[in-house]
């Protein structure tokens, strides 16, 4: 189980990294589309909106599922209201 947890955790990290920076990649084409304007700029923007972003959003959603699965397998609780006891609370 530990190996599966580690593999899923690494996969989650890679997927989130790619989807996070995948959201920044279209900044330059959007700026170029804004400068060009007209029909060409509209085509660039629509391509990014209809063809590119759905893949980035799907990748991010899949990454969240992988991350939640990793948390479930690793028996972690991301948001819990448990009191930390002992020496670990002092560190």
Residue ranges per domain, the chain? Answer: 2-89
Long-range contacts of the stretch 1-5 (C-beta < 8 A, 24+): 1/73, 1/74, 4/73, 5/70, 5/73, 5/74
At residue 50, the pLDDT reads 93
- For the segment 32-91, what is each residue's pLDDT rounded down to a tens digit? 999 999 999 999 999 999 999 999 999 999 999 999 898 888 877 766 666 666 555 555
């Amino acid at each position: 189980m530990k190996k599966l947890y580690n593999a899923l955790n690494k996969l989650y990290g890679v997927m989130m990294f790619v989807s996070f920076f995948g959201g920044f990649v279209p900044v330059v084409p959007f700026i170029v589309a804004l400068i060009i304007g007209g029909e060409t700029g509209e085509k660039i923007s629509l391509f990014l909106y209809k063809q590119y972003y759905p893949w980035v959003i799907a990748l991010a959603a899949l990454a969240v599922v992988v991350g939640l699965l990793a948390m479930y397998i690793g028996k972690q609780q991301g948001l819990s209201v448990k009191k930390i006891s002992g020496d670990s609370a002092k560190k």
